[in-house]
Amino acid sequence: MAKKKLVLIGGGHAHMVTLSNIHTIVDKGYDVTVIQPSDYHYYSGMGPGMLGGTYHPDDIRFATRKVVEQQGGNFVSGKVTSIDPEKQVVRLENSEQEIEYDVLSCNAGSFVPRDIIQTDSPNIFTAKPIESLFQAQEKILSLSKERPLHIAIIGGGPSSIEIAGNVQQLCQHQGAHQPHISIYAGRQIIAGKPAKIRKLALASLTRRGVKVLEGTYVKNIDQGMINLKDGTSYPADIVFPAVGVRPSPIFANSGLPVGPDGGLLVNRFLQSTAHPNIFGGGDCIYFEPEPLDKVGVYAVRQNPVLYHNLMASLAGEPLETFQPGGSYLLIYNLGNNEGVFCKWFFIFGGKLAFKIKDYIDRKFIEEFQALEK
């Protein structure tokens, strides 16, 4: 009898436990294939710190291909474009190959929309994929040797303040000329979160020379200029669009049921509402029982349930439900070894906040990097 096939799209944060158990899945007689564009998965929580030079890319990445192959799984280097749930195959970009599955799990993450960008300038860097922050770092360091750069960050959310603070750190420690860093924050930075977070972030960034423009919206980015809706324009040598994320387009492209944001619509078992052999976790899903924030915390919490349900689905056993859990800890890395710590109403800023984040993040990635040995 042919072996049953488990296919994983993306080796993201919600697949870490499944990836670390591939040997068990293979030992049980199943065939496992992991599809991902890069041989490595980058831990987003440490991405801004890599941009700022606190971490080397090797410190924040997980060798997906190596870990999969050394446990007897198959690794396919590629980008999934669509799923055909009737034929039970996935299709890849620039490839005729169709990959068959009996059970499919999707952890393809999210992307930063580029709608406002009207140029194909190579100096535009989104925070996803995280690898592009390393390319941004190289570009900033090489250009700032010649002159002070204008660096624009579009959006006022968590990734925006983390990028701004870490670009400032990068240039202070390694850049020849200090850049002019501006955040085009929309209504205001860190809108929708407790006011104290905003106050602490603003204080840290403005003290270090970052300009924060609030109450202004960007219309478009064209020919090295940031054009605002109020008619004003500002120069920008390097642009980071950080306007929030949207789930991977794979599901909408495949005609699968999706939530209002385009994420794969899943029930409390993290299972597609239409196709019982399709599961998912992380930023790429829309959790039908209650919408979840696009934070790595949920992807990490989904790991054991997703792994259990994939195994149960292969074996025809009962599924477990995912409980999102209560409030979560968030610490923003503002560069300069400073952070903002936030859990419930307990909020503080400074070096201790960054130290706690650094400790937690290093522990998380080192646990999974240990599988590479």
Binding segment toward ligand FAD, per CB under 6 A, in 42-50, 145-153, 167-175, 228-236: 42-50
Residue 342, interface with ligand FAD (CB under 6 A)? Answer: no
Instruction: Give the integer Cα–Cα distance in Å for 275 and 135.
Output: 39
CB closer to ligand FAD, 315 vs 348: 348
Q: How many residues bind to ligand FAD according to rule CB under 6 A?
A: 35
Q: What is the residue-wise DSSP string for 238-282?
A: EEEE-S--EE-THHHHTT--B-TTSPEEE-TTSBBSS-TTEEE-G
CA distances from 33 to 96, 104, 131, 253, 317 (A): 17, 10, 23, 22, 21
Instruction: Give the integer Cα–Cα distance in Å for 79 and 158.
Output: 27
Binding segment toward ligand FAD, per CB under 6 A, in 7-15, 19-27, 233-241, 312-320: 7-15
Residue 61, interface with ligand FAD (CB under 6 A)? Answer: no
Instruction: Give the integer Cα–Cα distance in Å for 105 and 97.
Output: 19
DSSP code of 294?
S
Q: Which of 6, 7, 12, 68 is in the footprint of ligand FAD by CB under 6 A?
A: 12
Binding segment toward ligand FAD, per CB under 6 A, in 125-133, 193-201, 264-272, 335-343: 125-133
CA angle 195, 200, 202 (to 5 degrees): 95
Q: Taking the mean position of all CA atoms in its chain, how far away is CA 10? A: 12
Q: At its nearest, how many Å lie between ligand FAD and the CB of residue 72?
A: 21
Q: Taking the mean position of all CA atoms in its chain, how far away is CA 340? A: 20
Residue 162, interface with ligand FAD (CB under 6 A)? Answer: yes
Q: At its nearest, how many Å lie between ligand FAD and the CB of residue 250?
A: 6
Site mask for ligand FAD (CB under 6 A), range 261-300, x = bound: ---------------------xxx---------xxxx-x-
Q: With CA atoms as reference, report the closest residue to 248 among 259, 240, 237, 239.
A: 259
CB closer to ligand FAD, 262 vs 282: 282
Site of interaction with ligand FAD (CB under 6 A): 9-14, 35-38, 41, 44-45, 47-48, 79-80, 107-109, 127-129, 159, 162, 248, 250, 282-284, 294-297, 299
